[in-house]
């Protein structure tokens, strides 16, 4: 299995998986908190707009999402249930 696929399945980064493979064993980590991403601060607003019926990614992006519309589209796919959040 490819490193990227392993990382996706376990929900961790590829570098973490590479470290495990290099060590030849599972290396204990200190993941006691949910890692925040750039979308977290805007998720409630984006979900609210989506639930209100605004399904236009460009419109939501213009309303103040500070990152790329492409990133917003990827997060909205998770909101819509097309794929699990990454």
Number of domains in the chain: 2
At residue 84, the pLDDT reads 45
pTM assigned to the model: 0.51
23 and 3, same structural domain? yes
Q: What DSSP assignment string belongs to 15-75?
A: HHHHHHHHHTSPPP----SPPP-TTGGGHHHHHHHHHTT---HHHHHHTT--S-HHHHHHH
Q: What residues make up the domain containing 23? A: 1-29
At residue 52, the pLDDT reads 93
State the 10-residue block means of pLDDT for the chain, 86 residues long.
88 86 75 65 88 91 88 81 53
- Tokens in use for 69? 């519309």
At residue 19, the pLDDT reads 87
Q: At what angle do helices 43-51 and 69-79 cross, to 10 degrees?
A: 70
44 and 69, same structural domain? yes
65 vs 72: CA distance, rounded Å: 8
At residue 31, the pLDDT reads 58
Query: Is residue 25 one of the residues assigned to a domain?
Result: yes
């Amino acid at each position: 299995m490819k490193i990227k696929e392993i990382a996706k399945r376990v929900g961790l980064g590829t570098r973490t998986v590479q470290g495990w493979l290099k060590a030849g064993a599972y290396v204990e980590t200190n993941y006691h908190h949910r890692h925040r991403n750039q979308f977290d601060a805007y998720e409630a607003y984006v979900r609210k707009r989506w639930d209100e019926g605004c399904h236009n990614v460009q419109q939501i992006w213009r309303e103040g999402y500070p990152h790329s519309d492409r990133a917003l589209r990827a997060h909205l796919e998770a909101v819509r249930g097309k794929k699990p959040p990454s």
